[in-house]
Amino acid sequence: MNAVAQWFRDSIASWDRFWFTPRLPHTLAVIRIATGAMLLYTHLVLASDLLSFLGPEAWIDNATARSLHDGTFGPDDAGWSYLWSIDSAAGLWLHQLLAILVSACLMLGLATRLTAPLAWFIQLMIVHRLTGALFGLDQLTTMLAMYLMLAPCGAVYSLDAVIRRRMLKRRGTLSPRLGWWFPEPRPTVAVCVATRLGQLHLCVIYLFGGLWKARGEMWWDGTALWFSAANYEYQSLDLTWVAHYPVLFAAATHLTIFWETFYCALVWPRLTRPFVLATAVAIHGGIALFLGMITFGLIMIVANGMFLEPEWTRRLLRRRGGGSEEASPEERRVAHSPRG
């Protein structure tokens, strides 16, 4: 009985450490920059032909978009968007300008306590409006924005951090209200929870992607990547030369399905994590370079950044910036603070 009780105590302690160990915000801050930039890009693309995407006579109009969520064409997915009710061109343009402004603020880290949830909500409304015309990029940016809004992702590498330093220099201290709007770059439980949710979500995506591929004969006979490379619809570089090396594309096919299916198990141990993440960069980088899906490949690499330790991210960026690896006075003061 003592052994069983100890196992339960250890399990509870492990669960607590996994979810509630305070983490620095540096990795999430880098993901915030990349996600904000990708949201800005997608909103600018929508703005290039806004009425064709969202207007009353769009390729998928408001009535059709609404019916895709109300059970007419299948089970009700409980989606809703206020964009279903906006028919005027002026209203759509004002909304799109707001989306562009908010995503730019998220990227730059300006008022991130407000712009992060606002960026997620606007993106979700656009995704529900564009049902039937979505791409993996849209879904991944929505997912990342959702987890970024749960944490102080603007505490570092942001205009918020610059404003905070200037206010501290002028005032010496900040009120709790200002401190919430301009958070310290300290370890917090919120960063840990947001990171863990993002990591687990990514594991689920890969697991079901791998299981779905396992249903196809081409993934078992090793020809799936060949048909991808030979598909002129996606081909950005001519890879038909791989037809002369069937062993090469067969091995790459089997490696891909093995990696995707077992990502959820192999990414957690420190021993195998570097190989899993390196494979992610290789696979998604290949998708970006060779299959023409540059934005999707890049955002998947960004999402895999959830598994980078924030201390490593901070050291790397300090070296790249030519600065000292030592933390700033404020970071040193709060680096080992209790849970925030």
Same domain for 166 and 35 = yes
Same domain for 178 and 230 = no
**pLDDT at residue 37, rounded to an integer:** 98
Same domain for 195 and 178 = no
Domain boundary (187, 219, 243) is at 187
Examine residue 203 and state whether it is found in any structural domain, yes or no: yes
Domain boundary (155, 187, 219) is at 187
Same domain for 179 and 48 = yes
Record the pTM: 0.90
pLDDT digits (tens, 9 = 90+) for 50-109: 999 999 889 888 888 888 887 665 555 667 899 999 989 999 999 999 999 999 999 999
Residue 34 near residue 103 (C-beta atoms within 8 A): no
Per the structure, how many domains does the chain have? 2
**pLDDT at residue 224, rounded to an integer:** 87
The amino acid sitting at 275 is F
Name the percent of the chain lying above pLDDT 90. 67
Supply the range of the domain harboring residue 123.
Answer: 22-187
Examine residue 17 and state whether it is found in any structural domain, yes or no: no
Q: Which long-range contacts (CB under 8 A, 24 or more apart) does 226-235 make?
A: 226/253, 228/291, 229/290, 234/291, 234/292, 234/293, 235/290, 235/291, 235/292
Same domain for 301 and 176 = no
pLDDT digits (tens, 9 = 90+) for 139-187: 999 999 999 999 999 999 999 999 999 999 998 889 999 999 999 999 9
Average pLDDT of the chain? 89
**pLDDT at residue 306, rounded to an integer:** 98
Distance CA 267, CA 287 (A): 21
Same domain for 284 and 213 = yes
Which residues on adjacent β-strands are paired with residue 188? 23
pLDDT digits (tens, 9 = 90+) for 282-316: 999 998 988 888 999 999 999 999 999 999 999 99
